[in-house]
Amino acid sequence: MNSPNAGAFAIVAALSCVGLIEASARASEKAIAAERAETPTRDAARIAPDIDRLPDDSWGRAVRMGRALIVETYKHIGPESRDPQSRFAGNNLSCQNCHLEAGAKPHGLPLVGVFREYPRYAAREGAIETIQDRINGCLTRSLDGRPLPVDSKEMNAIVAYIAFLSTGAEKVGRGAGQMAELTRPADPKEGAKAFAENCAACHGADGLGKRRGVVGDAEGYEFPPLWGLDSFNDGAGMGRLIAAANFIHANMPFGATYDHPALTVEQAWDIAAYMASMDRPHKVGIDKDFPVGVEKFVDAGYGPYVDGFSLSQHKFGPFQPIRDKLEAMKRSKAGGQTGP
């Protein structure tokens, strides 16, 4: 039986690990400052630290291992990994499929600057989460697998890499940006047409991606599947329409950027709706997400809901009426509370 203090001990242990990693990360600050001084014509806020400038010591090796895990997740901890004991990911995606350019691309869900945001409150869990918790959220949702042990070399390496990316870096281009929302529901049928015209050449007409080699070789995908058994599950962030549509608009097709998108706003919303309408693995227990119901993301594509809106509207929008209702519920609850 677990001790009643086990959870607290786990958090303390995780924070101690983070403290050691943060201390090592500070040693990189002078090198990063020197790098930026040598490149005055570039926007310093957009320069991710140069991993090649790290020495070949325990810190440098940990950071490089972390980057390798982000870029080639499928090879090191995927279901086809050579070592069966290391098969934590349940699909053959990589972290880099969402966190573009090894987590360094502005508006490509960058990891630059995120290290210092943790621990923080997570509405999905209804609790304070550490950075290790957040990483394991990706393992169990986007990678459809099982959690990494918080004291494993793989976890420490990923945390080290994220800490390294955050040293001396400003939070520029966080997330995937935010574009205007539609006043109508996003349309999967229109999305299917736009997908065929703009996405199928890379991801396949069936959306199942293009492998680098063959099944079983642990080489992953050149272009990842967007649905199907080897894709992210229905509890992943990319399974939400707002998250997916903004990511698509800022980054897809290949070569697009937030400042120079290739798709119209409507195309991005509709393609995201088409993705959301397709089958993918189911995460058991997602009905327990968002224990505080009014904190549930308006585009969470699974119930239960406390706002009275349908599953279809939560999946495809429009979302402002849902926000308005939730805000009214929060105000009503706050107004009904009495002082001590």
Lowest mean pLDDT across 143-147, 167-171, 203-207, 228-232: 167-171
CA distance 256 to 254: 6
Lowest mean pLDDT across 42-51, 197-206, 289-298: 42-51
**Residue 43 clears pLDDT 50, i.e. is over it:** no
Lowest mean pLDDT across 110-119, 144-153, 186-195, 283-292: 110-119
**Residue 89 clears pLDDT 70, i.e. is over it:** yes
The domain ranges of the chain are 6-166, 188-331
CA distance 332 to 328: 6
pLDDT band at 36 (very low <50, low <70, confident <90, very high): very low
Region 40-59: mean pLDDT is: 70
CA distance 195 to 295: 32
Q: What is the pLDDT of residue 291?
A: 98
Q: What is the pLDDT of residue 339?
A: 46
Give the CA angle between residues 150, 108, 293 to the nearest 5°.
60
Compare 52 and 138 and report the one with higher pLDDT.
Answer: 138
**Residue 27 clears pLDDT 90, i.e. is over it:** no
188-331: what fold? Cytochrome Bc1 Complex; Chain D, domain 2 (1.10.760)
Specify the pairing of strand 120-122 against strand 221-223. unpaired
CATH number belonging to the domain at 6-166, selected among 1.25.40.10, 1.10.760.10, 3.40.50.12280, 3.40.640.10: 1.10.760.10
Q: What is the pLDDT of residue 142?
A: 98
How much of the chain, in percent, has pLDDT values that exceed 90? Answer: 79
For the entire predicted model, the pTM comes to 0.87
pLDDT band at 20 (very low <50, low <70, confident <90, very high): low
In this structure, is the dihedral angle defined by the CA atoms of residues 252, 258, 262 and 266, taken in order, positive or negative?
positive
